[in-house]
Amino acid sequence: MLVVMKPHATPAQIDAVTERIRSLGFTPHAIPGSSRVAIGVTGNKGGIDVDSFADMDGVAEALRVTQPFKLVSREVKEEDTVIEVGGARIGGEAVCIMAGPCSVESEEQIVETARAVKAAGASFLRGGAFKPRTSPYEFQGLAEEGLRLLAVAREVTGLPVVTEVLDAETLPMVADYADVLQIGARNMQNYSLLKQLGALRKPILLKRGPAATIKEWLMAAEYVLAAGNYQVALCERGIRTFETMTRNTLDLNAVPVLKALTHLPVIVDPSHGIGIRAHVGAMARGAVACGADGIIVEVHPQPEKALSDGHQSLTPPQFAELVRQVAVIAGAVGRTV
């Protein structure tokens, strides 16, 4: 249920509504808007008597939310969510660009990449320290050493760091270093992990599961918000289909669908989405053309020597060209980079 307050509702009136929600054993989620406050209600097993809230002082209306996802829904919050991360923004008018290697491999590699992507126009550095590799025999990441190197690169360049957290055990450590915590595709429905993220006050980049429907994905985001962390961005990274010529099938349909259903920012990962270096730029343009709020791109100073994902990583000059192209498309849809 959603309780929408009148534009000039007093703090006391708002408190009375949240108190009433708590007294019924439910959880209130205050959602400040530009002109008025709305209060999302979660935790109710069955229906709530909507009318009993509608009659309270300062309440404009009380509504049932028709979608199974509530707090992430545009029905509950109409305005786009903008996540502020140390000077950079995810969501809002400007398209944000996250870039960096698949895995952190060495200090030289990560610092060189960070400098290059910053010079080309990226506003976030990506890089994995804990890697969920398909084979247990492949490079699994540098673990805490990788996080330290990401912090060094952040110090040198000022770029906020996006890095993946694999499990609940390492969550406090990763959160200590990261500016944005990435939940990888394979963990999209790791509900224990999602609930723990909800307790943090740290932005989350939630990747889509390889075979997750848009609805399942939004429900996964709902887990994080319901547990109290509202700073979630969604990342489309390609889905599993019968097509074998590309690594995944980048579902750009999901971008306008999500923008209609949710207020959360939508990021696109063309590197995993197509998996072919030569075509990453085309898909990045497509993503921004259909309304994505940002892109996350794999860049490596020497892709042929990369320990993971070399075939889909761009060189720094290729990345700089991609940013130029994306800036033109962003301009064409009335946005900046």
Partner 1 sequence: MFVTMKPHATAAEFEAVVEKIRSLGLTPHPITGTERRVVAVVGHTGGMDPDELFGTLPGVAEALRVSQPFKLVSREVKEEDTVIDVGGVPIGGQAVVVMAGPCSVESEEQVLETARAVKAAGACFLRGGAFKPRTSPYEFQGLREEGLKLLARAREETGLKVVTEVKDTETVELVASYADVLQIGARNMQNYSLLEKVGTLDKPILLKRGLSATIREWLMAAEYIVSKGNHKVALCERGIRTFETATRNTLDINAVPVLKSLTHLPVIVDPSHGIGLRPLVPAVARAGIAAGADGLIIEVHPHPEKALSDGHQSLTPVEFGSLMRQVCVIAGAVGRPVFEPR
For partner 1, the binding residues (CB under 8 A) are 211, 213-215, 238-239, 241-246, 249-257, 259-260, 273-274, 276, 278-279, 282-283, 285-291, 325, 328-329, 331-333
> Which is nearer to partner 1, 33 or 331 (by Cβ)?
331
Collapsing DSSP states into helix, strand and coil, what is residue 108?
Answer: helix
Which amino acid is residue 169, in one-letter code?
E
Give CA–CA dist 257/172, Å, rounded: 34
The residue among 172 and 331 lying less far from partner 1, judged by its C-beta, is 331
What span, in angstroms and rounded, lies between the C-alpha atoms of 169 and 156? 29
Instruction: State the minimum distance, in angstroms, from the CB of residue 251 to partner 1.
Output: 5
Q: Least distance from C-beta 103 to partner 1, angstroms?
A: 24
Question: CB of 248: closest distance to partner 1 in angstroms?
Answer: 8
Task: Give me the least distance between CB of 258 and partner 1, in Å please.
Answer: 9
Tell me the torsion sign for CA atoms 27, 31, 37, 38.
Answer: negative
Nearer to partner 1, 6 or 279 (CB): 279
Residue 197 or residue 212: which is nearer to partner 1 going by CB? Answer: 212
Least Å distance, CB 242 to partner 1, is 6
Scanning the structure block, which residue is given the tokens 């996540």? 83
Given the complex with partner 1, which of 167 and 216 has the nearer CB atom? 216
Report the nearest approach of partner 1 to the CB of residue 283 (Å). 6
Nearer to partner 1, 192 or 336 (CB): 336
| Closer Cβ to partner 1, 210 or 228, answer by number | 210
Cβ closest to partner 1, residue 192 vs residue 241: 241
Provide the b/e sequence for 235-274 (b: ≥16 CB within 10 Å).
bbbbbeeeeeeebbebbbebbeebbebbbbbbbbbbbbbb
Q: Distance between CA atoms of 19 and 39, rounded to whole angstroms?
A: 11
Q: How far is the CB of 331 from partner 1 (least distance, A)?
A: 7
Nearest approach in angstroms of CB 266 to partner 1 is 11
Angle between helices 107-120 and 144-157 (to 10 degrees): 40
Rounded distance, CA 273 to CA 250, Å? Answer: 4
Specify burial of residue 278 (Cβ count, 10 A radius: 0-12, 13-18, 19+).
Answer: exposed
d(CA 150, CA 107) in angstroms, rounded, equals 8
Q: Give the type of residue at 207.
A: K
Strands in 12-57 per DSSP E:
27-32, 37-42
| Secondary element (H or E) of residue 53 | helix 50-54
